[in-house]
Structure 1
Amino acid sequence: MKTKAMRLICLSLLLFLVPLLTSCAKEKQVYIVYFGEHKGDKALHEIEDHHHSYLLSVKASTVEAKSSLVYSYKHSINGFAAELTHDEASRLEKLKGVVSVFKSNPRKYKTHTTRSWEFVGLKEEEGGDYRGGDGDDGLHNYEVNDDRFRVGRKFLKKAKHGDGVIVGVIDSGVWPESRSFSDKGMGPIPESWRGICQTGVAFNSSHCNRKIIGARYYARGYERYYGPFNAAANQDFLSPRDADGHGSHTSSTAVGRRVDGVSAFDGIARGTASGGASLAHLAVYKACWAVPNVDKSHGNTCFDEDMLAAFDDAIADGVHVISISIGTTVPHSYLKDGIAIGALHAVKRDIVVTASAGNDGPGAETLSNAAPWIITVGASSLDRYFIGRLELGDGYKYESDSLTTLKMDKFAPLVYAADVVVPGVSMNYASLCLPNSLSPELVKGKVVLCLRGHGSRIGKSLEVKRAGGVGMILGNSRVSDDGIHADPHFVPTALVLSSAVDRILNYIYNDDEPVAFIKPARTVVYPYQTEDSVYPAYQPAPFMTGFSSRGPNWVDPYILKPDITAPGLNILAAWSGADSATKVSIDRRVTDYNIDSGTSMSCPHVAGAIALLKSTHPTWSSAAIRSALMTTASMTNEDNEPIKDYDGYPADPFALGSGHFRPTKAADPGLVYDASYQSYLLYCCSLGLNEIDPTFQCPSKVPPAYNLNYPSISIPYLNGAVTVTRTVTCVGLTGDSALSTYNFNVEPPFGVSVRAEPDVLVFDRVGQKKQFNIVLETQRYEYTGEARRDRYRFGWFSWTDGHHVVRSPIAVSLV
């Protein structure tokens, strides 16, 4: 009986599942069909016809094939995006000439969301960039406080602030009215520019100028998934206009004009906002959009097919640099990652692509944009802090990060939220200051201690304000004690860790008249804090942020990532006039400039530096520019100690790559590790990706992946000895000398010996190349098991001629 019953159950399940599986097979979704590089023998209409022929092979009619097409990529990228069933996609993947087929996914990508340029050594005097901007006299002063940066006083002038260089930003669009995008005093649009100013909702050709020289938007994939665009539900503009703030922030960080006297939130970070290359031109490619009917604070969505179209146009338009502060939520192989594909085609045209590493740190193997032809950027700090202060009536003082500038007049009574709620609020939620939970009769004129948990942080201060409170202490609960998260609150607010919550509650319940006073946030530059400061987190800058994503490289551990780090914490830059500073729907406050954090902010810092290097060295390849940035990066902080991680311990290359970027040093690196498009194709052969370009054939003997001419070395599972080959190119002799002699120096990873063959390189002309080998070998005592074999250990090597130091990190794990 039991056997018969089980058979009936299985039969029933089968009858239920078969239609379901059939339905799934017939359900249409957008897939990208990628053919690799064009052969160069077809006109644009012939390429599109070629794509249609592939669609016709799986579709029932010409009409169905054409209606299913979302994009035909035909400038540089060869492929198309179309609505397909799973079965149709599988059939296409088997056809000759198809390199890869992968499904679009709305959750695959996300955006990775000023003293910053002064901190890295590009300070200017009052007077703005050399064509005036918002200044008057056009003078410069390149001095900074740190001697390590006193190396390029004439760098900006020589680079002409990026004049003539075109930076393409793939993001959420631009707010063209921002003063950061003024074209006052700018030079003409480069003759090589082939882009357009695409019109749309609240955006027309008059919004482009000599700063914003082009703007496009891409929403076909977005609309295929979410349906026709609806302004109310989408909370966005069907145009290049930025309704989010992210795109304006990243664009102005890279190439924004110098604007004096700006700040966020009534005075926070007051000073001058400027991009790194303030006279470079901006090309806007909007490919990220608000998720319909979802609060903007949850972030944008960016589709593969829309970003690939943006890359294809940017390459054809003639940009020199592409900055993309977007990444995958989980790692993907290179040929199923739209950013990696687009970047490879860009690099073939010597367009430098820089991308954010991601905000999923500090865990290992969390970074995105790991392809070696992309410059991958982590996020580190500035030397600037925004600090608020709490004082209790018993003399207790507490300082923490704050972005709230509202003031209290005097000490006010202090209460705990759970004691001042309206009747009927569950005890589980009484301390959380949720909407309409507080009693105005019990809260009016008081400071309220609220706990994090359910509900937005900003919403809790709005509830305190609604109930008549004059201030809020927002405390971490023990389950949400993940650090301090500063926001611009609606009432004076102090942020405290869970340990301080216990101290404050003890005061509330053991004092007859507990009172509190909250001081507004103030800007403090390390090491110039006040003598009475009790802020516990001061440390010399830069230090690595906890959110910055880490290596090792999940896609290929032989490529060390990230490449470099740049400022990404509390960065002031332009914002959208259609969004609040917090992006929370209940917040209606708008601001011209906003403070934001993330590798999204560090990436455009590097893009700005690249624009300056492109202007200074127009013939340098994408790989040469990456090498110059990496090998000249700093590994020490303001106190000349090793750069620390967020937890106070020394940061390793899986956090900071080669170090903190120094644009002025990168202009004169001495030697570079160059690589061509063909070098990357050969590297792809080592991964079994051998059909990307029909004009390139993988050799019968493919060199190992670790022999790609990269400015760093990563060897996982070292067993015995490995010989790594590198080639350096001389890009500048030492002073007036006819010869430059470079000596090898090394600090090997623990348990590994490292030597160079040869260990001296002599150059007598610019452009000369020299090859050398690095031999890494496990040491006997380590190899026998005195330390863990699965843990990476780190070191570095360098070539030094007395003037240049060409430094590279090493990461090794043992078998």
Structure 2
Amino acid sequence: MALLFFFPIFFFLISSQAITPPPDPTVKTYILRVDSSSKPSVFPTHYHWYTSEFTDSTKILHVYDTVFKGFSASLTPPQADLIKQHPSVLTVFEDRKRNLHTTRSPQFVGLRNQRGLWSESDYGSDVIIGVFDTGIWPERRSFSDLNLAPVPKRWKGVCQTGVKFTARNCNRKIIGARYFSKGHEAAGGIGFGGGVINDTVEFKSARDADGHGTHTASTAAGRYVYKASMAGYASGIAKGVAPKARLAVYKVCWKNSGCFDSDILAAFDAAVNDGVDVISISIGGGDGISSPYYIDPIAIGAYGAVSRGVFVSSSAGNDGPNGMSVTNLAPWITTVGAGTIDRNFPAEVMLGDGRKLAGVSLYSGPAISGKKYPLVYPGKSGVLSTSLCMDNALDPELVRGKIVICDRGSSPRVAKGLVVKKAGGVGMILSNGVSNGEGLVGDAHLIPACSVGSDEGDAIKAYAAANGSSNRATATITFGGTVLGIKPAPVVASFSGRGPNGMNPEILKPDLIAPGVNILAAWTDAVGPTGLDSDGRKVEFNILSGTSMSCPHVSGAAALLKSAHPDWSPAAIKSALMTTASTVNKQLGPMTDESTGNATTPYDFGAGHLNLDLAMDPGLVYDLTNEDYVSFLCSIGYGAKTIQVITRTPASCPVRRKPVPENLNYPSIAAMFSTGKKAVLRKTLFRRVRNVGDVNSVYNVKVEAPKGVTVSVKPAKLVFSDKVRELSYYVTVKIDGPDVVMGDSGALFGSLLWVDGKHVVRSPLVVTQLDPL
């Protein structure tokens, strides 16, 4: 009996100290993972328990009970430390801000009207895509519900009303909308009042004041819209990847304020409970650095979703072309990098000496009609803010009436043009640095402007330096509109997050790439195409680039596959997308890197580029269960309590025979070896495949081994029948000797293919050596 009374007394002491503010006035938002099974029966709900035992109701922001068990609260560090000591609290971590990872593409990835995956899936009808982003501008034609069937009966979500968003803004296309702002507000985010805050439009509702969410939602599931364009650019029929899929909007990001983990986790909780089939989240750390899974709410929330059958796709980040820049690394997430499509928006800089240098632009205002203007590079002063054309950095006496060369970096590309305009410049040439190389994206600049690669930028600067003292340096800019049939395509976008996986190199990331450069999709009326508050232009569509744009392509693709194969798990859908992805461009040459023009590797494109011609019928799939993921977490050294933070249930890891992370039944294969005197140069890995093609099929293995590596597979033949739908195989990878030289990336690359005469089931094979710790 004494034991029964001990815990309530202990809880009361914790609660009393938590409610009384300690001397430290600093208040932060914390996310607390609680062992829900230890809730005393005296409390009717977990909320009552949390408010009675841990903190008062005024401090609690969100209560999580679907993908995560626990709550988020505004606490001082000492209060958080005290609660952390409670035996029912598994972990406490601080809320963090995340960033957004900021047409023709459906045809480019292999979708065709009235046949193939579009036809077989009825264009994704009745599949529900949850979009975690900045909200939606519901009046766009892309979100029409014309001729759509009634809302699926299994849907349990709501259309949450708020500032300038009513129940009428939802329909049979936008079937649900919610917004999450408590974490944002607790962190000192902007307040809300009448929709306008500090001259910045924002709405405390699911209405999109930024444009990013509207763009990603219509990329995934926009309806057919005829005569679409962005100020005349990319004109044609706009459509999403899954035009009949339903949209559920979860606004977790706020204009100029980012996205907070506590709100993102609340959105995961709501979306899974609402009944979404796919979650699209173009959000990440923004610095190319990922957190361990047990303190990463995107990884935790995604696990809770995937474990309940919801496919989760996320952006790989925009910190390429640097190595190890890929983010969102959890193996249950489908991580998407970006590639180009065969469409471009050329512009050209003509120098006073007659040279012409190619670039890109989406400028749509009055042209400068070929007239040459004086050219100036303010960066010759050596002041970084001046070379970058930062706010108030340009001297009007220097730039007035001239075309100004600005270096890319530190501020939005379009914002630099505004700085030039305010200083009296007539045009801008935006030059890449070495880190961006030759990778270019178009922008809807406010003044005549052209983006050029690093080499072209250096040539223009050299010309300006050689002729600037005599005022003979001049230039003009011409604009070429929209050009189709660009070759080669796709190429890996220079900004796309790259491998290796900095958390667990045994899992290849990104998983694949999809169109993410110059993508036309719907836009908000709250801001112009540049996204700048001073841009008063109104456009129905905008053209953006980023892995934010590639992610919803895969979300839409997953919706199509889910519609065509409703019994497939998220892992099976991911496998189909990966094993059918293309590793060559449309000209059948090797895929190249936009930043350098060199050949790329699986560290750049994962399994390859999205290819929906083949994904509906992949032949074989690599499936995964919750037990497989738990075994993986055991293999990377996570203990039972840490695993419970992620999976919600206690786990028991084997003591004698520790699992190997490379044995996770992933569609890609990575063999990790250590260097040194005791280095082992041979490793055997395990995989299993399920036949989803013709019942009686025979697959033979084909190995494209990396140079200096011997690869053998047993068995070399897989025979499937009505009674044998799933088979296993072993891959033995042997480095031929200690002197084998790894490539520039520290790895060697090959492929393992299973072929039956109809299907080619391809897995990238990565072999690398790491120095022992």
Normalising by the residue count of structure 2, what TM-score does the alignment of the two structures yield? Answer: 0.87
1:574-611 CA-to-partner distances (Å, cap 9, x unmatched) read 11111221122332223211111111000000000000
The alpha carbon displacement at 1:633 in A equals: 0.5
SS at match of 2:304: helix
The alpha carbon displacement at 1:751 in A equals: 2.4
- Pick which of 582-591 and 209-218 moved more: 582-591
Tell me the C-alpha RMSD between the 2 structures: 3.3
Q: 1:352 to 1:522 in 2, by over 3 A?
A: same
- Pick which of 28-37 and 371-380 moved more: 28-37
For residues 185-196 of structure 1, what are the structure 2 equivalents within 5 Å?
185-196=147-158
CA distance in 2, matches of 1:379, 1:623: 21
Q: 1:464 to 1:98 in 2, by over 3 A?
A: closer
The alpha carbon displacement at 1:178 in A equals: 1.1
1:172 is the counterpart of 2:134: yes
1:449 and 1:475 in contact (8 A); partners too: no
The alpha carbon displacement at 1:256 in A equals: 0.7
Q: Which one of the candidate residues 60, 67, 90 is aligned to 1:99?
A: 90
CA distance in 1, matches of 2:134, 2:708: 47
The alpha carbon displacement at 1:351 in A equals: 0.5
**Which letter maps to 2:75?**
L
The alpha carbon displacement at 1:52 in A equals: 3.5
Q: What runs of 5+ residues in structure 2 fail to find an aligned partner?
A: 1-20, 675-679
CA distance in 2, matches of 1:463, 1:337: 37
Aligned equivalent of 1:664: 613
1:761-788 CA-to-partner distances (Å, cap 9, x unmatched) read 10013871101111111213xx146568
**Which letter maps to 2:264?**
M
1:88 is the counterpart of 2:79: yes
Aligned equivalent of 1:391: 350
Q: Which one of the candidate residues 598, 622, 637 is aligned to 1:673?
A: 622
1:411 and 1:515 in contact (8 A); partners too: no
Aligned equivalent of 1:796: 751
Aligned equivalent of 2:677: none
1:732 and 1:766 in contact (8 A); partners too: no
Q: 1:217 to 1:44 in 2, by over 3 A?
A: farther
**Which letter maps to 1:48?**
Y
Aligned equivalent of 1:131: none
1:672-693 CA-to-partner distances (Å, cap 9, x unmatched) read 0011122212222223242424
Aligned equivalent of 1:422: none
Aligned equivalent of 1:757: 714
CA distance in 1, matches of 2:314, 2:691: 27
SS at match of 2:732: strand
2:370 and 2:478 in contact (8 A); partners too: no
The alpha carbon displacement at 1:167 in A equals: 0.4
**Which letter maps to 1:726?**
R
CA distance in 2, matches of 1:394, 1:550: 39
Q: What runs of 5+ residues in structure 1 fail to find an aligned partner?
A: 1-21, 56-63, 125-139, 141-152, 291-295, 420-425, 528-538
Q: Which one of the candidate residues 113, 138, 141 is aligned to 2:102?
A: 113
Aligned equivalent of 2:4: none
Aligned equivalent of 1:267: 232
The alpha carbon displacement at 1:554 in A equals: 1.7
2:439 and 2:493 in contact (8 A); partners too: no
- Pick which of 553-562 and 30-39 moved more: 30-39
Normalising by the residue count of structure 1, what TM-score does the alignment of the two structures yield? Answer: 0.82
CA distance in 2, matches of 1:479, 1:633: 28
The alpha carbon displacement at 1:558 in A equals: 1.5
The alpha carbon displacement at 1:393 in A equals: 5.3
1:722 is the counterpart of 2:677: no
Q: Which one of the candidate residues 727, 746, 753 is aligned to 1:770?
A: 727
The alpha carbon displacement at 1:705 in A equals: 1.6
1:475-500 CA-to-partner distances (Å, cap 9, x unmatched) read 56899988656432333334441212
1:354 and 1:603 in contact (8 A); partners too: yes
Q: 1:432 to 1:758 in 2, by over 3 A?
A: closer
For residues 525-540 of structure 1, what are the structure 2 equivalents within 5 Å?
525-527=484-486, 539-540=487-488
1:345-376 CA-to-partner distances (Å, cap 9, x unmatched) read 11111000111111111122221111111111
1:571 and 1:595 in contact (8 A); partners too: yes
Aligned equivalent of 1:713: 669
Q: 1:500 to 1:52 in 2, by over 3 A?
A: same
Q: Which one of the candidate residues 188, 192, 208 is aligned to 1:242?
A: 208
Aligned equivalent of 2:462: 502
1:48-82 CA-to-partner distances (Å, cap 9, x unmatched) read 23433551xxxxxxxx5222211111234211111
Aligned equivalent of 1:181: 143
Q: Which one of the candidate residues 222, 225, 228 is aligned to 2:187?
A: 225
Aligned equivalent of 1:60: none
Aligned equivalent of 1:15: none
For residues 194-209 of structure 1, what are the structure 2 equivalents within 5 Å?
194-209=156-171
CA distance in 1, matches of 2:430, 2:447: 11
1:76-97 CA-to-partner distances (Å, cap 9, x unmatched) read 4211111233333334334334
1:37 and 1:694 in contact (8 A); partners too: no
CA distance in 2, matches of 1:428, 1:225: 29
SS at match of 1:31: strand
SS at match of 2:640: coil
Aligned equivalent of 2:631: 682
1:381 and 1:569 in contact (8 A); partners too: yes
1:186-243 CA-to-partner distances (Å, cap 9, x unmatched) read 1110000000000011101010000000000011111111167234146411101110
2:218 and 2:522 in contact (8 A); partners too: yes
Q: 1:765 to 1:36 in 2, by over 3 A?
A: farther
For residues 334-345 of structure 1, what are the structure 2 equivalents within 5 Å?
334-345=293-304
SS at match of 2:711: strand
1:154 is the counterpart of 2:154: no
Q: 1:368 to 1:428 in 2, by over 3 A?
A: closer
**Which letter maps to 2:29?**
V
2:429 and 2:451 in contact (8 A); partners too: yes
Q: Which one of the candidate residues 807, 810, 814 is aligned to 2:762?
A: 807
Q: Aligned residue pairs: how many?
A: 725
Q: Which one of the candidate residues 529, 547, 550 is aligned to 2:498?
A: 550
SS at match of 1:697: coil
- Pick which of 458-467 and 234-243 moved more: 458-467
SS at match of 2:57: helix
Aligned equivalent of 1:127: none
Q: 1:51 to 1:754 in 2, by over 3 A?
A: farther
CA distance in 2, matches of 1:405, 1:376: 34
1:249-285 CA-to-partner distances (Å, cap 9, x unmatched) read 1100001111111111x21111121111111100000
CA distance in 1, matches of 2:384, 2:608: 49
CA distance in 1, matches of 2:212, 2:570: 26
Q: 1:308 to 1:465 in 2, by over 3 A?
A: closer
Aligned equivalent of 2:373: 414
For residues 615-630 of structure 1, what are the structure 2 equivalents within 5 Å?
615-630=563-578
SS at match of 1:742: strand
The alpha carbon displacement at 1:550 in A equals: 1.3
CA distance in 1, matches of 2:78, 2:425: 61
CA distance in 2, matches of 1:416, 1:110: 36
**Which letter maps to 1:391?**
M
2:218 and 2:521 in contact (8 A); partners too: yes
1:407 and 1:519 in contact (8 A); partners too: no
- Pick which of 564-573 and 676-685 moved more: 676-685
The alpha carbon displacement at 1:556 in A equals: 1.5
Aligned equivalent of 1:293: none
Q: Which one of the candidate residues 56, 59, 72 is aligned to 1:68?
A: 59
Aligned equivalent of 1:135: none
CA distance in 2, matches of 1:498, 1:352: 45
Q: Which one of the candidate residues 676, 685, 697 is aligned to 2:652?
A: 697
SS at match of 1:377: strand
